[in-house]
Every structure is written in C-alpha cells, then in structure tokens.
Structure 1
C-alpha cells in the first residue's frame, strides 16, 4: 500500500530560518487582515445595495411607449377596467425584469470587486513578504554582528568582548550576557593553563621518587617472591606515569597550538613504525607504510603533538588487532590525508563514536588487555588543535579505518 505523507504547515514553517519565518509571519498577518477586511466590505456592500433597492418605489405613467419613471414618489392609481388589468400585468412583468436586472448588476459588481480585490490582496501580500524579509534583516543585523564576533573569539583571544552599543534592549542584554560568559571562560582557561603548567612536576615527581626507591631499595638479586612484587610495583608505577602523561597531553592539545612549523608526516610515520615495532612483533602484527618519497606530505603543526597523534593511532591499530593481523599506514599527498587501517574483530558502526570518548574502550572482543581508553580521544583532540578531522569507519571484513584529513 502506498504510504501517504501528510505535510504539516507548522512543521514546514518551523524548518525555515528565523528571518524567513518572520517574513512569512508578516505576509500571513497581512493576508489574514486583508481577507477579513475584504470579506467585511463585500458583506456590507451587498447588504447596503439590497437595502437601497428595496427602498426604491416605481411610478407608472400612461404613455404610448409604456415608459416608466423611477422615484421615491407615491404610485399613481391605475385606471379601472380591462385596460387597468392589462396595464397591471405588464407592470408586474416589468418590475420583475427590472429587479432581475438590478440583481444581476449587483452580483456582477460584487464579483468584479471580489476578483480584483483578491488579486490586489495577493500582490500586496507578496510585497508585504518581501518588505517583511528586508525589515527582518534590518532587525536581525545586530544578532548577525554578535554571531560574527562570537565566531572570531576563540581560546586564543578570549580577552575580546562584543561591547555592543545602543539602547538597553533585548539585544544589548544578550550581548552583555555573552560578555559575562566570556569572562567566566577566560578565567576557566587561565586556571587550566596554570594546572597544566604545574601538574607535570606535582604529579610526576612523586612517581619518579617511588620508582627510584623501588629500584634502589630492592636491588638484584632478590628472592623470587620479592622480585615479582618489585616488578609488579614498577609496572604499576609505569602505568600510572603513562596515564598522567596521557592526561597532560590531552589537556595540552585541548589548549590549542601556540606556534606551528612544517612537519613531515612520512618521516614521522616511519619513526613511529620503528618505535612500535617491538609492540607489533609481540602482538604478531605486521605494520606497512605506504608513502610517496618523491612528494612527502608536509603539514603545519607541532612536531611533538603530531608524533603523539600518529603514535596513538598506530598503537591503537596494533593493540586492538588479532595474531597474524596487519596495520597499514597510508599517506596521500594529493588529498592531504593519512589513513591507518587494521584487521581484527568486527566493530558495530553504532559503537564507533564511543571509541573517541575518554576512558571508553570497545567490548571484550578486542584482544588488547592494556590501555586506559585515552588513545583515540587524545588523537582527536590533537587533530582538532591542528585544524584536521579524524574519522573512523568499520571495515566489512573486521577492524577499523581511521582517516586523518588536514585542512587546506
């Protein structure tokens, strides 16, 4: 059976931009008021002409041409006899004919008035819509100015303010509220910057002292039980330090870039592949790099952050893989994209957005048993700091394809 889609006018209007809705509202209001005015004029005109026609009296005058005169005078008494009867009959017929003629003229006049008034109403409604569009644009011009200024304000220039001038109206209060919000954001970002600057020393120093105490206090040779305890404590210390480094890196990338320099992605990818070769060998995963040596992909950015970005993507592809699997890193200079594809278990498409959330990992079907669930969230944060877009899609045969697209 065919499915009939019902169109709700309110739904269609709600999908229009605000300026268009204002113009449609102006035109609709004009059409409604004009229609009511036209209807009242038609009703009153019909009622008034009917009253005038009923108030007209007819006078009969004996004349060879049987002509009649109309006027508000008293009717003349007709003559008696057969001539009077025939005259009365012809007079009644003439009255009916005149009445029909008057009504026809009245209906024709009303139809013409309604027709041309309706045409004029439609034309004026269109004109009202166009004028409403322009008036709405003028009324919303301060909002457009606020929007443009808000787009230019970022983390790097939070000190800027809208400082809207003019009367103390709704738009002025909106701009003041926005400036107040920027004040709070600027204080928050300054607090975050101070935290990132101090957290490295405050958090990593105790871990370094702890690690040194373990290494010095429990030197080799040790009994088997103590050696296992020391190794477990050192491993826990190393994981805690990795977690702190990851959190600090995430906070640093969220702050944006202070300065950039040209970064060769091909050279960085080769260094990352060499660094992660032991991890790939331990997981029985082969890492392949496909890059054009004659046309290297060079992007502006922070070399340290870009290396962390590629490292996180490649490590994620190695860890969440399967024995005998493959990781392929491909750099495309023409499109300024880098892709990291891996084999492995199938990933449901609806689960992909969760992988970019901090401390979120895929289910137990992924083979990795280590990691904090920060790799892809850090990678996306670094990509956004470089004006790049990091996306992921599931491969039909299993695994993921991570695409890093740099802007022009």
Structure 2
C-alpha cells in the first residue's frame, strides 16, 4: 500500500514508533559495545598467585608429584629437600590463569547475550507501546481538525449558523478554527444578502407588473384593429411571463430559507392535486399524463412547497417533451418519480439543468420557461432533507427521483 494512502493519524503514529525504535536501537548498541569493551579490559588484568600456608594449618596439600597409588605400590621417590621441580609452580599458575580467563570470557558472553536478548524484547514491547501511545496522542491532537471536517460536511446553505467556537490555547489549530468561523460568517452574510435581494426585488416588481397588465387591458380594450389586438396579446403574454418569473424567484427564495413551519403532509394527495391542475396543459400539448401511487404516505414538511415541487417536476416534464410523448408520475411510499419522453440528454449535462436559468434550449424542444423549474425542485427537496436524482429516461428525456426521508 502506498504511503499516501495511509491515514495521517496512522502515519504520525508510525513516525513516533520508528523514531523510538531508531533511538532505542542506537542506545542498545551503544550500551552493548561499552559493556563488552569494559568487561574485556577488566578480565585482561586477572592474575593468579600462590597463597602461603597460614600458621594454623595442620596439614599441607599434597605435592603435585604425590598422587594416589594402589596399596602396596612403592611411591615414587620424593625429591630431596631444597630441590624444586623445574616449571612445576609456573605450569600450575598458567593453567589456573587460563581457566579463570576462559570462565570470565564465558560469563561475559553469557551476560551480553542475556542482556541483548531481554533488551531486544523490551525494545519491541516499548516500540509497540510507543506506536499505540502515538496514535492516541495523534488522535487527541487532531481532534479539532476532525471537528472542522465534520462541521464542514454537515454545513449547507440552510445551516450556515453552525460555528466551531474552539477553546484552548492560541495555537495553530485554534487559529484554523477561528479562520473557519470567520469564513462561515462571510458566507452566511453573503447568502442572506442574496436571498433578501431576490425576495425584495420580486416583491417590488410584482406591483408595477400588475399595474402594467391592467393598463394594457384597459387602454387596449375592444374594439381594436387586428394589428393593435395582436400587439395587446403580445404585451399581455410578456407581462404574464414576467409575473411567472417573479413568482418563481419568490418561491426559490422562500425554499432557500428553509422550512419555517412543518406539519404532517399527505404526499399522495398533494401529488394528485398538482397533477390534476396540469392535465389540461398535457391535453393541449397532446401528451399522455399517467399517475400511479400506492398507499398514502405522510411526510413532515411544508404542504405548499411540496405541491410546488410536484408541480414544477410535472411542468418541466410536459414543457420539454415531444408532441406525442407521455409523462409518468409514480409515488411509491416516500419515493416520487417523474419520467418523460423526448430528446436524450447527455449525462454530463444533466447536473447543469438544476442550476438557475440554465437550459439546454437547442437540445430540448421547449421554447418557454426560464430555467428555474428544476432549481426550485432541488431547493425544496433540500429544505426537506433530501436531494433529487436525475438520469436519462428509458425512451429519452429525463427520469427525476425524489426520496423523502
């Protein structure tokens, strides 16, 4: 496994263990070499000397030449008094010195082997303990980073009010948490400003548009010439489209703010209501609209927003469809699926359709709309704790699925 694939916490623990192992091995080698050198010097100076007999001794050890012999055997002649066998004492002393040195060397080797054996065992155990301790310390040290990561993953446009508010010393991790909180403050102010602007602008534009529509209807009342009548219809059409755009912007701004009040909603009933309002549109376009739902399911949410979610999904499916196509609305449990027919959409372009004012106008046959339908669907779905999923339909078009929690 490549080093880059190992988690940082594990790498830090392994670094602690490796450093401890290197330092322990160096210390062990240093101690063993010094101990061996020191014992070698001490044993090199060992000598053996003959100890004279004390006055209280009653017997003296037999001379080297007085060895045991069988009964009746004639012992060898004892050397005359004052005569010493050449090399007798020196040979015995040399043998004793050699024996002592050999014994000291054996003791030295055995002591070094035992010290080395138990030192290696202790070093291995301490290395494992250092690795475990290093992993625990790394986890403690990196806990603020984990908190930052978890908060960032849970954060969205609707939950920008979360803050870390990390306490403790003013170190690198504390400054990282403060920078994260400061960035979140700026994002929240930016999103709040954007939502307020959209909502206020939409409210302010609805009044002049209503006045404009009334003026057109009154000022260009019948009887009119054919040219003026056509002009009036064009103006009224443009006015209605502008009102629809403003209504959509208001709905988008409202869903972006999240759910202010929730209640138990009959999802099947809201789906039937939304699709029933659009059946005349499907009939005018020559599109078959089929609905299928099982036992009613109740979800927690805003009934008005949920109705708009279904309505926008079905409207989008009718708008971007072929003349003899069809739309299928299926509700099974808490899963809503809307499928339409039409020109296929490239998989890499599907995600773009959920962006505001984004349309594939040349690829999709619809000529009306402002590109807000699926954006509103996503915003409402996220306000209810879910996210829509879109994919290519079996006969072209799109299949959009929303699974409510």
- The answer, yes or no, to whether TM exceeds 0.5 is yes
Note if 1:327 corresponds to 2:327.
Answer: yes
Judge conservation of contact 2:255–2:305 (CA < 8 Å) in 1. yes
SS class of match (1:341): strand
Q: Which moved more, 1:32-41 or 1:246-255?
A: 32-41
| Contact residue 346 and residue 396 of structure 1 kept, 8 A | no
Alignment counterpart, residue 24 of structure 1, candidates 7, 14, 24: 14
Distance 1:156 1:368 in 2: 32
- Structure 2 SS opposite 1:402: strand
Q: 5 Å matches for 1:131-210?
A: 131-143=133-145, 162-192=164-194, 194-210=196-212
Q: How does 1:101-140 map to 2 (within 5 A)?
A: 116-140=118-142
Q: Give the direction of change, closer, same or farther, for the CA distance of 1:156–1:359 in structure 2 (3 Å limit).
A: closer
> Is 1:228 aligned to 2:230, yes or no?
yes
1:195: Cα distance to partner?
2.9
Deviates more, 1:211-220 or 1:104-113: 104-113
Determine if the alignment matches structure 1 residue 217 to structure 2 residue 219: yes
Distance 2:362 2:199 in 1: 36
- Structure 1 residue 269 and structure 2 residue 259: aligned? no
C-alpha deviation, 1:146, in angstroms: 6.1
The C-alpha deviation readout for 1:266-323, integer Å capped at 9, x for no partner, is 122222222212321233211111112xx31221211221111111111122222223
How many pairs does the alignment contain? 372
**Unmatched segments (≥5 aa) in structure 1:** 1-6, 65-78, 80-86
Q: Could you say which structure has the larger radius of gyration?
A: 2
| Most deviating of 105-114 and 186-195 | 105-114
In the TM superposition, residue 362 of structure 1 has moved relative to its aligned partner by 3.2
Alignment of 1:5-404 (within 5 A): 7-8=1-2, 10-13=3-6, 15-16=7-8, 18=9, 20-41=10-31, 116-143=118-145, 162-192=164-194, 194-292=196-294, 295-333=295-333, 336-362=334-360, 364-404=362-402
Secondary structure at 1:389 match in 2? coil
| SS of corresponding position for 2:388 | strand
Aligned-pair distance for 1:180?
Answer: 3.3
Tell me the TM-score normalized by structure 2: 0.75
**Deviation of residue 40 (structure 1)?**
4.6
Contact 2:387 2:403 in 1 (8 A): yes
Check the 8 A contact 1:321/1:343 in 2, yes or no: yes
TM-superposed CA distance for 1:248, in Å, is 2.2
How many Å separate the matches in 1 of 2:15 and 2:382?
A: 41
- Which runs of 5 or more structure 2 residues have no equivalent in the other structure? 49-63, 66-85
Cα distance in structure 1, aligned partners of 2:379 and 2:154: 20
Give yes or no for contact 1:388–1:405 (8 Å, CA) kept in 2. Answer: yes
Moved more, 216-225 or 102-111: 102-111
Q: Aligned equivalents of 1:199 and 1:168: distance in 2?
A: 44
What per-residue deviation string (whole Å, max 9, x for no partner) do you get for residues 223-245 of structure 1? 33333333223222222222222
* Conserved? CA contact 1:297–1:331, under 8 Å: no
Shift of 1:366: 2.0
Which range moved further: 237-246 or 253-262?
A: 237-246
Q: Describe the SS at the equivalent of 2:328.
A: strand
Change (3 A) 1:306 1:44: same
**TM-score normalized with structure 1 length:** 0.74
State the superposition RMSD in angstroms: 4.1
